Amino acid sequence: MDFSKIPIGELASLPEFQGFDYMIAEENPELAPMVNAMDISQICHYFTEPIWEERSLTEGVEFLYNRACSGQVFYTLPPDGRRLPLSVNTGLAAFPVPDRDAGNTPFVILCPGGSFRHVCKIQEGYPVAKRLNELGVAAFVLQYGTGQPFDTEASMEDIFSALNLIQRNKDAFRVDPDHYVVMGFSAGGLVAALWGTKRLGYARYHCRKPDCLILAYPAISTRSFNEEDRLSFFGADYSEDDLVSTSADESADKDYPPSFIWLSEDDPEVPKEEHASLLVEKLKQEHVPVCFETYPGALHGTGLGDHTSSRGWIERAVKFWQNHSER
């Protein structure tokens, strides 16, 4: 089966994905008609710049399909506590490392990006999960709730629910429940970064702090959003306190997790001076370990980026994690 030539909507309807088509197909009503009619090859050639690599996206979907053929991959998450309507369902795709001793595998919760409107699992979820498995790390792709306005607290609850599910099934997943990372891309980078704060994230839910955060071309500061983006994110009414609590650089303190952060030098969507650099400087002030990598170019949303100057970032990020883990 050539997964690169099957339209996304048809992929989602394969019997192996029954009941969880939303973990493959585009659900946002504004985007679904176009995206679900395209195949991976068309998606990769949609933009003039080579943002996505066809090979890695195709391998990611094949990886997902093969796991779904051999056992349960998808899990639902509870919708409790939502204050705002969602434009997508929520769920978790689980990828334990095969043939590892029980209780010996660290894990990553992956939060793909999508401008807070949808979740780019095919681009930034499944290919990354495959690579993490190859590096000996279990991976869990999170479809967190999205919508406009964006329910930040609900996204924190989605991470909390994912952690609970993973920890309840630690033997089946063969993971060490005490050693995990949250990795986020773009909009998902802000979700991951906020989980590292005590105000909105791990401490509020009485969870163990992540060993570290891995943030790929992340949004960091809602204060840096222009007014149009703020209104999309918060709605018509937002306060100074909203800006503080949802700007990771303003909420970070000395207990923030060690962080590996990377992006293109001239990223057009989340300029480093307005986002990543703010958090990096704050972590340096608080003496929190941080690795900040920038790469030549002006690309955003590249995922694994094997075809770009960022190639190898994920191996370096896992090494950073290993160096700062208490295991």
Q: Which domains does the chain have, with CATH numbers?
A: 72-324 (3.40.50.1820)
What pLDDT band is residue 29 in, cutting at 50, 70 and 90?
A: confident
pTM for the whole structure: 0.95
255-280 burial code (b ≥16 CB/10 A, e <16): ebbbbbbbbbeebebbebeebbbbbb
pLDDT reading at 48 higher than 80: no
Percent with pLDDT over 90 in the chain: 85
> Does the pLDDT value for residue 102 go beyond 90?
no
Number of Cβ within a 10 Å radius of residue 205? 15
* Longest CA pairwise span in the chain (Å): 52
Q: In which band, very low, low, confident or very high, does the pLDDT at 325 lie, cut at 50, 70 and 90? A: confident
Q: For 297-313, how does the pLDDT look when each residue is reduced to its tens digit (9 = 90+)?
A: 889 999 999 999 999 99
- The pLDDT of residue 50 is above 90: no
pLDDT reported for residue 100: 66
Does residue 95 surpass a pLDDT of 90? yes
Burial of 121 (0-12, 13-18, 19+ CB in 10 A): buried
**What is the residue whose two structure tokens read 């694994």?**
304
* Torsional class of 243: left (φ above 0), alpha (ψ -120 to 50), beta (otherwise): alpha
Q: Which of 208, 189, 27, 194 is nearest to 110 (CA)?
A: 189
